[in-house]
Structure 1
Amino acid sequence: MIKVLTMEGRISTLILLCLVLSGVGAIQVNIPQELYENVRGDNITLPCSFTPKTPLKGTELVIISWSAEGAQAGAKEILILTHYSLNKQTDVTSPYVGRVSLDVDIATGKANLKLFSITLADNKVFECRVQIPGDDEGKRADTARLVVLVAPSTPTCKIQGKVEYGENINLTCLSEEGLPPPTYKWDSRDVRNTPRAPAPRTTDKGGILSLFNISRETSGFYICTSSNKIRSATCNLTLSVMPPSMNVGSTAGIIGGVVAALIVLIVVIYCCCCRKKKKEEEYAMGVHEEEYRDKEPALNGESRHADGQEDTRGRDAASPAGSGDRYEERSERDYDRRRDYDDRRSDYDDRRSDYDDRRSDYDDRRSDYTDRRDRNERYDSERRYDDERRYEDRRYDDDRYDEPYDDREPPRVPANKPTRRDYDD
């Protein structure tokens, strides 16, 4: 039994050794990594090296090709480029013209593919294949997957629910772009911008922050950070929790209703005032119209009496049936109109008498004022005349005293003065 096991082990070792020796004598194509991750918009290089069965002298034909296949199952393979070593010609397919190039060195076995400004469409599996006539054994191709990373876009923060006392609300945070998909984290600060711990029932999952039974203490600033392995982006919002009675919409509605009611009230008051003024004018003009109607001549054979009643004898004679009732009805109507006219006439006379009294009182006061003014003017004129007289007298006296004594004329001697006697003699 032991000998049998020993023989099987030797046979397995010989088989593995033969396989290794056969691989050494065949072409080997190799891409160092199976996965490459790069940021969208970068310029990258996918390395590829090959080792032929025998060293190449430069005269052999070597064909190098790169192709790409979608990562999903059943995706179509797309040829990117093909290089021919003899004429050193590289053919690039139309989707990749201007976006790829080949860094090739046949002697050293280098066939690197360069991609410029990679996009999300470059999330594919790339294959490097080398073909040498007469070297068909071995590993003629190798693959690697390219993952294009995208930084998170600036997230959008929103509030779901009514921000009122006792309500449950959600704060949402979402980035439209990001590969790998970003993770979200919420931070909270109070109204004084001081960091604080979340409430015990608060949950933060998948960019949704759930707040339960919110109150005044829930108000503050909330910051959401969206991040992946490339970088992060943030958004923030301000939460102001208000009582239900202080809702902005209802408050605005109440204020609008009050303003509308005030406007309607002002319009009604203005209309009432205008109507009252119009009635007063019509009432004042009505007296004159009634007087004019009383003096109007009879028209179409009708006559008017002094009391304003119409003479309808002709019509009553023409239609005797029911004339008594119509006559009484017209009489009562004319009597009521006449009585209304008398009342308005009496009111008009009273107002006219009151106006005449006020006018007479005004004329009396005006006359009294005129008399007082005339007396004051006479008094001022006399006083001014006296002042002028006194002033002239003082000037005359001052002129007399100012004259020199020698210039004065000697007093005249009366003609009948007796002669002087000398009593000494």
Structure 2
Amino acid sequence: MKLNIIKLKTKKNVDQLYVLSEQANETQTFALSKEQKPLCLFPLKGDLRGRAEMLNTGIRIRNVTRKDSGTYRCEISAKSEEGQRLGEATITLTVLVAPTMPVCEVPSSAMTGTVVELSCKETEGSPPSEYQWYKNGVALLEKTGTGSARAANITYTMNKKSGTLLFNTVTKNDTGEYFCEASNGIGLSQKCSVKRMQVDDLNVSGIIAAVVFVALVMALCGLGVFYAQKKGYFTSK
């Protein structure tokens, strides 16, 4: 989301105004004289070129983006009976940006008893987004305490700041359709697409059957080799 115009002003009536924007390791310097037209002591560089305009006691930035967030300092010079005096004012500009659609990582399958982590992230929102996970369309609860029955039944840890959903020991009950919602109080919240996670028990009987089958095949192969040796099939004539 972009804002069209931002104005940074000071309340002091001054002869000259210097506005320095320390953004992206680059210093922008402006000057304004009341008796003259607004002029720049140094050419505008970087993203502010063509978008910054001097006002009587401030600076206007058009088509503001998130990169314009930062600390702006005004150095003020005013004549008095004692001579030239300097003043300073600091303004912090935070550009508010609605979140974009987050990227969600949800495994399609998992085995019971294993550790499973789901992740959700978007990087455009300002201030940074918080994340809420949903299972089968129902918002998941945070485990905020250990005294309640509801908290005791929660088998996961949800971090709303980082967007992770961690199952230390996943169970079949955790099977379901998951999605995540990112919000930061600016504009509309954004959701990722729904993804299904299927949790199954480890098929012990199937593994045992496979091991027995492989052992049987190896035994038959060994017997075949032994029989061939007895018959002299491997002896050279």
The equivalent residue for 1:63 is 16
Shift of 1:160: 4.6
Within 5 Å, which residues of 2 pair with 1:262-277? none
* Residues in 2 aligned to 1:196 and 1:65: alpha-carbon distance in whole angstroms: 51
Q: Does the 8 Å CA contact 2:182/2:191 hold for their aligned counterparts?
A: yes
The equivalent residue for 2:135 is 188
Match of 1:213 among 149, 155, 170: 170
Match of 1:93 among 35, 43, 62: 43
1:202 and 2:118 are equivalent in the alignment? no
The equivalent residue for 1:224 is 180
Match of 1:147 among 94, 112, 118: 94
Calculate the aligned-residue CA RMSD, in Å. Answer: 3.2
1:82 and 2:31 are equivalent in the alignment? yes
* Residues in 2 aligned to 1:178 and 1:234: alpha-carbon distance in whole angstroms: 13
Change (3 A) 1:244 1:48: same
The equivalent residue for 1:347 is none
Q: Does the 8 Å CA contact 1:162/1:169 hold for their aligned counterparts?
A: no
Shift of 1:166: 4.3
What secondary structure does 1:163 align onto? strand
Question: Per-residue displacement from partner, 1:307-354 (whole Å, max 9, x unpaired)?
Answer: xxxxxxxxxxxxxxxxxxxxxxxxxxxxxxxxxxxxxxxxxxxxxxxx
The equivalent residue for 2:191 is 234
Give TM-score, length-normalised by structure 1.
0.38
Change (3 A) 1:128 1:185: same
Structure 1 counterpart of 2:181, which letter? T
1:120 and 2:77 are equivalent in the alignment? no
Shift of 1:228: 1.6
Question: Per-residue displacement from partner, 1:136-188 (whole Å, max 9, x unpaired)?
Answer: 45553312111233332211111258423444322211213333222222122
Higher helix share: 1
Change (3 A) 1:208 1:87: closer
Q: Does the 8 Å CA contact 2:78/2:84 hold for their aligned counterparts?
A: no
Any stretches of 5+ residues in structure 1 without a counterpart?
A: 1-38, 53-61, 105-110, 246-425
Shift of 1:99: 0.5
What secondary structure does 1:93 align onto? coil
What secondary structure does 2:181 align onto? strand
Q: Does the 8 Å CA contact 1:68/1:77 hold for their aligned counterparts?
A: yes
* Residues in 1 aligned to 2:201 and 2:158: alpha-carbon distance in whole angstroms: 25
Shift of 1:203: 1.4
Identical amino acids, percent of aligned pairs: 22
Any stretches of 5+ residues in structure 2 without a counterpart?
A: 142-149, 204-237
Give TM-score, length-normalised by structure 2.
0.63
Structure 2 counterpart of 1:200, which letter? I
What secondary structure does 1:224 align onto? strand
Q: Does the 8 Å CA contact 1:161/1:170 hold for their aligned counterparts?
A: no
Q: Which structure would you say has the larger RCO, counting Cα contacts within 8 Å and 6 or more residues apart?
A: 2
Q: Which has the higher Rg, Structure 1 or Structure 2? A: 1
Within 5 Å, which residues of 2 pair with 1:15-414? 40-51=2-13, 62-70=15-23, 77-79=27-29, 81-91=30-40, 93-95=43-45, 96-104=48-56, 111-134=57-80, 136=83, 140-160=87-107, 162-189=109-136, 199-205=153-159, 206-211=162-167, 212-215=169-172, 217-231=173-187, 232-235=189-192, 236-242=194-200
Q: Does the 8 Å CA contact 2:108/2:195 hold for their aligned counterparts?
A: no
